[in-house]
Structure 1
Amino acid sequence: MQICLTMTVLFRKSLRQTSGIVENLLQPTGLDWKETGTSTLCRDQKALNVASPDPSGC
């Protein structure tokens, strides 16, 4: 879940897009990752501390 939220901030994509990307990245590894619902990610996003990338690019 932390990875999805971090990627959402980093790549400025929606949570739905990001969770699909993570699921596709994990498929070849054989890990069975159940996609977390978007509403769950939205709700948990408030509780997790995800740092925004530095806007200056440094």
Structure 2
Amino acid sequence: MAIEKIMELAVSIEGKSLDEKRSLLVKCAATTLSSKLIGGEKGFFAKMVVDAVIAIG
């Protein structure tokens, strides 16, 4: 049941440009970085995380 819900909510990135994929990944990363410690700088850290992930592969 959980897998079905995930598949229903999933967003496909097939056919999207690297810039579009990067933008989506930055938004996802920023959402997870909304803590009190780094919430004010989440844009900076989100871009850093995405750049690192893309550099790895």
TM bucket, shorter chain: 0.3 to 0.5
Higher relative contact order at CA 8 Å, sep ≥6: structure 1 or structure 2? 1
- The TM-score with structure 2 as length reference comes to 0.39
- The TM-score with structure 1 as length reference comes to 0.38
Select the structure of larger CA radius of gyration. Answer: 2
